[in-house]
Amino acid sequence: MAMMRLRREDPRIVGAFRLHRRLGAGGMGVVYLGSDRRGQRVALKVIRPDLAEDQEFRSRFAREVSAARRIRGGCTARLVAADLDAERPWFATQYVPGPSLHDRVAEEGPLRAADVASIGAALSEGLVAVHEAGVVHRDLKPSNILLSPKGPRIIDFGIAWATGASTLTHVGTAVGSPGFLAPEQVRGAAVTPATDVFSLGATLAYASMGDSPFGHGSSEVMLYRVVHEEAQLQGVPDALAPLIRACLAKDPEDRPSTLQLSMRLKEIAAREAQGLPSARPPAPRERMEERGTLRPTERYTERDAPGREPERAAARGRGPSPSSRPSRTGGSRNPQSRPGTRPGARSTSTGRRPANPRLLRQRLVVFVVVTLVVALGIAAAQALQG
């Protein structure tokens, strides 16, 4: 992460922390690198002086701190200390060394499929913890993801929404970064964990292509594309494209859950790292179905995993669909089939499988030809004798 010298107007001490460098500045305030008496380094955020008297901004800042306190574990920076009643409210989180995902891609270009899948798996697992705390980040994007030596970390919960909190924006006003916002945010509709899934999908597309899946342009143009146009995923590896496209579904109900997203990305990361062909083991999803824990946002797999319906149907005890039943004889399934026999395979009185139909036809043809030759030979001999 790039650091800058402190400016003349910057404080040198905030609370129990001494400030050393500037880490960045945003719409709410400035982030500094600081340390306490024990040498523990923190990222300390101080609200801007001109906003300190604005009650709306104080409320937003308090909500950011409240959201950070509610999250346990996951890929987030741990809250260390805060003072919401100070003249310039501030809070400090654990310092995360490493560049942002945005900077890494800008400097080195698109990441490999295995790296994108690995980062995505860790982030989606972290979002599980965030959402379990009743928090939706609402501004997940490449610049808010830091790539530390211990794995990626999600930062900046400045516009996070917590369960029970009132919104600080008017209906129809989008809060976040164009190109990474979900359609429901643009419309001013309620945000849900699926909102962060959309943003994560756009972020992983950026990491794969080195560009936004909705191109470039003014905020109005970008927001229109997010709502009305499909994402452009040319350049996204084939192993990731179907899953990322599912994350970018316009309808939140059509997106995968963060838990399922984490599981799928881990599978993809393992395969890509070993150079294995794309294949999806059925066990995790079917176990969730049997437990009744499959959520509506996990429906996308039934479209993106062709050929799996017979296995899913068998797991539910319904048997395969008519269009997918295997048939070795070309005929319909025998209604007299005994339980336990394979669909499409007819049983015999001896319990043995019937001969290959093609072989039977070949034998029949040979028999007919031989019979005709013999008959013609007999007829010809009788004619000569007469």
Is the pLDDT reported for residue 370 higher than 90? no
Is 139 designated active site?
A: yes
Residues 26-51 have a mean pLDDT of 89
Does CATH number 3.30.200.20 belong to domain 12-95? yes
Mean pLDDT of the chain: 77
Q: Among candidates 191, 164, 181, 172, which has minimal Cα distance to 67?
A: 164
Is the pLDDT reported for residue 330 higher than 80? no
CA distance 157 to 146: 13
Residues 40-50 have a mean pLDDT of 89
pLDDT band for position 355 (cuts 50, 70, 90)? low
Is the pLDDT reported for residue 314 higher than 90? no
What SS3 state is found at 378? Answer: helix
266 marked among binding-site residues:
no
- Above pLDDT 90, what percent of the chain? 43
Domain ranges of the chain: 12-95, 99-313
Q: Which of 50, 103, 139, 238 is catalytic?
A: 139
Is the pLDDT reported for residue 285 higher than 70? no
pLDDT at position 270, please? 94
pLDDT at position 107, please? 95
Q: Which of 157-161, 258-262, 331-335 has the lowest mean pLDDT?
A: 331-335
Beta carbons within 10 angstroms of residue 317's beta carbon: 7
pLDDT at position 2, please? 67
CA distance 335 to 237: 46
Q: Which position has the token pair 């048997």?
A: 319
CA distance 147 to 137: 18
Beta carbons within 10 angstroms of residue 36's beta carbon: 15
Is the pLDDT reported for residue 159 higher than 60? no
The alpha helices in the chain, defined as continuous H runs, are 55-70, 101-108, 113-132, 183-187, 193-209, 219-228, 241-247, 258-274, 283-291, 301-304, 309-316, 357-385
Q: Which position has the token pair 């643009």?
A: 186
Beta carbons within 10 angstroms of residue 128's beta carbon: 18
The model's pLDDT over 124-139, given as tens digits with 9 standing for 90+, comes to 999 998 898 888 888 8
DSSP code of residue 336? T
The model's pLDDT over 190-247, given as tens digits with 9 standing for 90+, comes to 999 999 999 999 999 999 999 999 999 998 999 999 999 999 999 999 999 999 999 9
CA distance 14 to 227: 43
The superfamily in CATH containing domain 99-313 is Transferase(Phosphotransferase) domain 1 (1.10.510.10)
